Chains A and B, each alone.
Chain A
Amino acid sequence: MQARTAAKTIAGAALGVAMATLLAARPAAAQDKTVTMGAILPLSGLFSTLGPPERDAMQMAVTKINGGGGFEVGGQKYKLALKVLDDESTAATVGIAAFRQLVQVDNVPVLVLADNTRNYASLLQRFPLPLLNILDSTYPSILDVDKHVFLLRSDTPAYVPGAVWYLANVLHKKRIAWIGSAADPYSTGIETWVKKAAAEYGVEVVADVNYPPGTTNFSPFIQTAMAAKPDAIYLGGVTQEVLPVAKQLFQAGIRDLPVFHNSGATPTQAKQIIGDDLYNDVMATNYDFAGTLPETSDNPATKTFYKDFLAQYKEYPDDLTMWAYDAPYVLIGAMQKAGSVTDREKIYQAMLTQTVPAETISGWMPAEGGKLFHGRDAQTLSEGVRWCTATKTIAPAFLYFMDGLKVTDQKLIANGCGG
């Protein structure tokens, strides 16, 4: 009887092996002459407002590249393919599986990442490859995670101080109440720089409140913040964190203080998250500071991108979409300079010194010698936008560049809504 049990067990195991082998032995599709660019993006979950536009923008660039005949590396013609996997905003589980798939199975030469870069550090050390990040601007910078990490965007210190400067010198506010998300590193990074900037520009942070993850009722935090009698409110976090707080501020009767954040929330997202009937009133006092928007660019290529993206996806492209659109060109540039589409180390070295690709649209501010990356960080101007109640959309209010805590290249746009 027991021997039979053991025999059954063995037979079962053998069956399992056979099945799994069948599954594993699916022939790899003929992939010659195509380079696959891998990306892990939050297409669902807490950060789902961020991933889909980035995927769409990258796909737009890839389609355009292939439509123009592809690209050439070392005398050989290639097409570019894009493979995007969803991390469901949970890097430690779903994201890690996606990493294994793209890096170990699909052998992508370069991986494009969005958020939670730190979660991949241990695997990145085991399987090194250049990692191009187009979203994660948390502070301290993710560049210290691994030498293979590149940041294809301007990060927190490059835009947060400008928001505080605007608040102090344009709106003449003196007392900021901070309401942030305790466990979101994006929020805590912004908080650090709001405080540094406030000290520099003579503004007081009168309340410093952080709510725990999963909070749905912000009343206690709002009340603590308001007890300090602020004249402006600064909210930390991404769109799905910031907009519910903005809504509850409005519902609690706080309707005349300027509300600052760095969420990149689009009008469509505001309408969906806050609701049809309320969003225009809630957003009326909002200011959002981050990278530049394509619609305010003077560059004809950027203007074309703006129009094409809006026409194709019925969504206003923001700074993130521009950076994402540029990512395929950066990858191709690095592969051409390296003379290889597979050698990750060579491509990494090439990326360190490559110049700004001509086809990019983000308005990159090159480092010495025309190089794209300052170290491993690419930079653009920053921009503050405000809400226009007449058109129920956003309009530029302030263009600037941060040199440490000094605001340079500043340009105020007083009648953004009126124009």
Chain B
Amino acid sequence: MKGAWPYVGIAVVTLAMWALLVSVNAFYAGVLASILIWTVATSGLNVIAGLGGYPSLVQGAFYGIGAYASALALIHGQNLWVATLLAVVSAGLAGLLIGLVFARTRGQYFGMGTLFFGVVVALVLTNWTGLTQGPLGLMVPFGFATNDQLDWIVPLSAGASLALVQALGTSRLGLRLVTVRADEDLAEHIGVPTARTKLAGLVISAMIGGFAGMLIAQYNGTISPDLFDQTVGFVMFVAVAVGGAGRVLGPLVGSAFIVGVPDVLNLPSGIGLLVVGVIFVVIVIVVPDGLMGGVDAIRRRLPGFRA
């Protein structure tokens, strides 16, 4: 029974989010839905960056690949199931590719490598106009039966992603990722297949990110490259670091802060990003152990992660 408590908590949060979503006006519902979809995407990032401690700046690209794959599938007459499957699989393949390229790269270089990969994906989305319509974006056919379905699918997806990270955290893969984060050399010495562990972590991150991309494409009804560029990948990393205070609920808190605050206050996007930048830099400076150390310290309090 003890292990069930976190899931009860997640279920309650999910129900609360659903209740909130259906009771507020359309504007706030839109803000809340964005927060919840970001929660899915950043929960994905939480696997490689939170559990594994690898500063991946490419989650925005997975999010984008999922969005475009699902949109293109629907445009070509496929149903939503196929579209969702394609979103998850294509993002997963991109994750596999990046993983194979960078799994043996460490620290800063992993951060920079993923950043540049995000830039390349954004450039492709912008310039492959034959497929993506470029900066103009794609109109996304609506795959659900009614608009109301989104009102429960979005919170349910957010809850499921939180539960998934909770479950992963206590699984063998999760424990291996935590070991890699703690000390990669030591992990390798004691027989953890670090390269394979990181690869698996990145692919799972990517697949969850791809699923979130399908959700945003459906919710918005339109997508364009600026929703998924390298800045988005970075801001997702910030969301995990900020809210992330390392708990499974970190992505929800972080997304609420990073997406919700500027939207509710109706800040122009420039000020919103300015605020995000300041918050992030301040957090890095004032968390005495440093960013990764801070995440570590709080992560240790995470239920189920106590080694």
- Chain A–chain B contact at Cβ < 8 A: yes
A binding-site residues for B, Cβ under 8 Å: 1-3, 5-6, 9-10, 13-14, 16-17, 20-21, 23-24, 44, 86, 88, 90-94, 96-97, 100-101, 104-105, 116, 118-123, 125-126, 182-185, 212-214
Which residues of B lie under 8 Å from residue A125 when comparing CB positions? 142
12 contacts between A and B (CB under 8 A): A10-B9, A10-B12, A14-B16, A16-B256, A20-B32, A24-B23, A92-B137, A92-B220, A96-B220, A100-B27, A119-B224, A122-B142
B6 interface residue per 8 A CB criterion: yes
Residues of B within 8 A of A14 (CB): 16
Contact A121 B126 (CB under 8 A): no
Candidates A20, A44, A122, A212; contact of B221 at CB < 8 Å? A122
| Contact residues in B for A126 (Cβ distance below 8 Å) | 142, 147, 221
A1 to B142 Cα, complex, angstroms: 44
Are A116 and B20 in contact (CB-based, < 8 A)? Answer: no
Chain B residues with Cβ under 8 A from A214's Cβ? 126
In the complex, how many angstroms separate the beta carbon of A42 from the nearest chain B beta carbon?
A: 13
Contact B5 A96 (CB under 8 A): no
What is the chain B residue whose CB lies nearest that of A43? Answer: B268
**Given contact pairs A2-B6, A3-B5, A122-B141, a sample of 9 additional A-B residue pairs in the complex whose CB atoms are under 8 Å apart:** A2-B2, A5-B9, A17-B20, A20-B28, A91-B222, A92-B137, A92-B223, A122-B140, A126-B147
Contact present for A213 and B135 (CB under 8 Å): yes
- Please report the number of residue pairs spanning A and B whose Cβ atoms sit closer than 8 angstroms: 140
Q: Most chain-B CB neighbours within 10 Å: which of A6, A10, A86, A212?
A: A6
CA A185 – CA B132 in complex, angstroms?
13
A94 to B266, CA, bound (A): 10
B residues within 8 A CB of A44? Answer: 268
**A121 to B27, Cβ gap below 8 A?**
no
Q: How far is the CA of A37 from the CA of B127 in the complex (A)?
A: 36
Inter-chain CA distance A217–B278, complex, in Å, is 32
User: How far is B223's CA from A6's CA once the two chains are assembled, in angstroms?
Assistant: 37
Q: Is the CB of B226 within 8 A of A92?
A: yes
Looking at A2, A9, A23, A100, the one whose CB has the most chain B CB atoms below 10 A away is A9
Report B212-226 CB contacts with A as 1/0, cut-off 8 Å. Answer: 000000001111101
Chain B positions 149-184 with a Cβ under 8 Å from a chain A Cβ: none
CA distance A88 to B224 in the complex (A): 14
Residues of B255-297 contacting chain A, CB below 8 A:
256, 263-264, 268-269
Question: Are A23 and B220 in contact, CB atoms less than 8 angstroms apart?
Answer: no
Complex-state Cα separation, A88 to B263, whole angstroms: 14
**B222 and A9 contacting across the interface, CB-CB below 8 Å:** no
A97 touches B227 (CB 8 A): no
User: Which residues of chain B have C-beta atoms less than 8 A from A182's C-beta?
Assistant: 127, 129, 134
Asked if A2 contacts B303 (CB within 8 A), the reply is yes
